[in-house]
Structure 1
Amino acid sequence: MTSQETDLDRRFVLAKAIAQEAGAMALDYFNRRDSLVIETKRDPQDVVSIADRTVEKLIRERVEATFAGDGFLGEEFGHTAGSSGYTWVVDPIDGTAPFVSGMPNWCVSIAVLHGNEPVIGVIGAPCHNELYAAAAGRGAKLNGRVLTLDPTRNVRNAMTGIGANSHVAPEVMADIIIRLLQAGGTFIRNGSGALMLAYVAAGRLVGYYEPYMHAWDCLAGYCLVKEAGGWHHPFPVEGERLTRGAPVVAAGPGARADLERLAGLA
């Protein structure tokens, strides 16, 4: 085993452990969510609570304690550059709106970049007692079960996840839905893009498309989809682009062409 493989495996073990610990903390907040003070960020649909901030602090502390030279980007507290070549990209609670509304469609999303590639993706969904975990060259698993995507599934015989937010005009989203339905597909939106990407890796959804999404929402899911045998459109992570939004597209092998057409990439 090379030193780089050892470095990756050590971080993979830590990412899975942190996801479990952070998920337990988030679930505790979820079970007493009526006591949380809910704030809005850029619009009334973009909400945050003390749960998001406290969980992100926990994850940062655990990473810094073991890999002090790693960079860190979290949704709530921004980017801290590192010196090791590894950067952790974290959404402490993706799906805060479902979270504060008492729905189980939220997750803890932890990715690790090495260079410009997401080499670790771990997504914990505590309400479902599910842990999705993948690392480069090591495959993807759900609660220890290997995930392998079925190439016979496409938008016409399976469901597609669609994400929307106020960064994208309603008319644009309506056109996406119309074209998907015209192609013989159907769609679901559960309020957590990261969780829907995990569902693509698990074969529950055949693909996922959101015209504007951030790195902390998608990079863990991208690693999972790739390691399960799927495809994803590259996310720009060079320099300041890491902190900006971009289109996110991922699909199983039988739906790549469908999703590329839907996203205007083909």
Structure 2
Amino acid sequence: MTLAPNGLDELLLIARDTALAAGALALQRRQEGVSVAATKSAPIDIVTQADRDTEQLIRSLLSDARPDDGFLGEESGGGGGTSGLTWVVDPIDGTVNYLYGIPAWAVSIAVVEGDPDPATWRALAGAVVNPVTQEVYTARAGGGARLGERELQATTGVALDRALVATGFAYSMKSREPQIEVAAEMLRRTRDLRRIGSAALDLCGVADGRLDGFYEWGLHPWDHAAGALIAREAGAAVVGRNGAPGSRELLVAAAPALADQIVTLITALRP
């Protein structure tokens, strides 16, 4: 499928407006008070009722706007469509931050062409909205990335030992062990390490030059669908192991030379 630029612009407008509406609802729920509704993969892997309510709103708005498209959401799973496009949604990325009132959480919405698999999909448009700071990150394929109306450009020419790099950690304590080992070595090799708590915002931080790089493994498609497109459209390389696309196995975002250094280091530490 080949969409004209005006078709991509329409998809981007839907992503942005839906993310803004969802962000307003999530912020309202946060102001009303939040509690844990359930746990998922581990006792610390939480979901709030606001996650569920926000995803329900997103799903309803997208269904009204694009009834033939598929859907893949963190809380309600997938639903097939007939158009060849799928909306990949994280209603609240950074739920622990949301629960604690830390202003680093976001609504992430992207639309992709093909199966909703990062290894093969083509991301067409995406929006990441931080309702607390009112920052709206957007991108469409071939159209660049923006924060509001400002065009974004990832940093270039930064060596690993001068790079500010972000990462995240799994909920499973067993899975955290190798992540801790890699993080310790990253701290030895870089300017410093950040753990912000939202992969979507980390990727937007790379796009905006607030971070020089980001890496994590264990991410789900909805964690990075929009953020990876925004980082890529800002000039960052978004890659995995051995030149593969970024995926659950590994996702690195940084200027191309720095991304290569990060991938090489992680591959050496975690063959």
Is the TM value for this pair above 0.5? yes
Cα distance, 1:82 vs structure 2 = 1.1
Cα distance, 1:7 vs structure 2 = 2.6
Q: Residue by residue, what CA displacement relative to the aligned partner does 1:190-217 show, whole Å, maximum 9, x if unpaired? A: 1111111111111111111112110000
Contact 1:90 1:111 in 2 (8 A): yes
Give the letter aligned to residue 130 of structure 2.
A
Contact 1:160 1:188 in 2 (8 A): yes
Counterpart CA distance in 2 for 1:184 and 1:235 is 21
Map residues 42-53 of structure 1 onto 2, 5 A cutoff.
Answer: 42-53=41-52
Give the letter aligned to residue 250 of structure 2.
P
Give the letter aligned to residue 62 of structure 2.
V
Give the letter aligned to residue 238 of structure 2.
H
Map residues 1-266 of structure 1 onto 2, 5 A cutoff.
Answer: 4-34=4-34, 36-115=35-114, 116-167=121-172, 169-233=175-239, 234-235=245-246, 245-264=248-267
Contact 1:123 1:131 in 2 (8 A): yes
Q: Which runs of 4+ in 1 moved over 4 A?
A: none
Gaps of 5+ in 1: 237-244
Q: Residue by residue, what CA displacement relative to the aligned partner does 1:120-173 show, whole Å, maximum 9, x if unpaired? A: 121000111100000001100001100012212243223101110134633301
Q: Is the alpha carbon distance of 1:254 and 1:129 closer, same or farther for their aligned partners in structure 2, counting shifts above 3 Å?
A: farther
Cα distance, 1:258 vs structure 2 = 2.1
Gaps of 5+ in 2: 115-120, 240-244
Counterpart CA distance in 2 for 1:5 and 1:142 is 20
Cα distance, 1:31 vs structure 2 = 1.4
The corresponding residue for 2:118 is: none
Give the letter aligned to residue 249 of structure 1.
V
Q: Is the alpha carbon distance of 1:55 and 1:154 closer, same or farther for their aligned partners in structure 2, counting shifts above 3 Å?
A: farther
Contact 1:149 1:229 in 2 (8 A): yes
Contact 2:16 2:126 in 1 (8 A): no
Give the letter aligned to residue 147 of structure 1.
L
Counterpart CA distance in 2 for 1:109 and 1:262 is 29
Contact 1:120 1:135 in 2 (8 A): yes
Cα distance, 1:246 vs structure 2 = 3.5
Secondary structure of residue in 1 paired with 2:132: helix
The corresponding residue for 2:117 is: none
Cα distance, 1:185 vs structure 2 = 3.5
Counterpart CA distance in 2 for 1:61 and 1:170 is 36
Secondary structure of residue in 1 paired with 2:197: coil
Identity of aligned residues (%): 38
Counterpart CA distance in 2 for 1:3 and 1:200 is 27
How many residues were matched structurally? 256
Give the letter aligned to residue 140 of structure 1.
A
Cα distance, 1:37 vs structure 2 = 4.5
Q: TM-score, normalised by structure 2?
A: 0.88
Contact 1:52 1:93 in 2 (8 A): yes
Cα RMSD (Å)? 1.9
Counterpart CA distance in 1 for 2:3 and 2:164 is 41
Q: Is the alpha carbon distance of 1:235 and 1:151 closer, same or farther for their aligned partners in structure 2, counting shifts above 3 Å?
A: closer
The corresponding residue for 1:242 is: none
Cα distance, 1:26 vs structure 2 = 0.8
Give the letter aligned to residue 262 of structure 1.
L
Counterpart CA distance in 2 for 1:111 and 1:202 is 18
Secondary structure of residue in 1 paired with 2:158: coil
Q: Is the alpha carbon distance of 1:261 and 1:63 closer, same or farther for their aligned partners in structure 2, counting shifts above 3 Å?
A: same
Q: Is the alpha carbon distance of 1:70 and 1:102 closer, same or farther for their aligned partners in structure 2, counting shifts above 3 Å?
A: same
Q: Residue by residue, what CA displacement relative to the aligned partner does 1:84-131 show, whole Å, maximum 9, x if unpaired? A: 111100000001111011111110001110121112121000111100
Q: TM-score, normalised by structure 1?
A: 0.90
Give the letter aligned to residue 79 of structure 1.
G
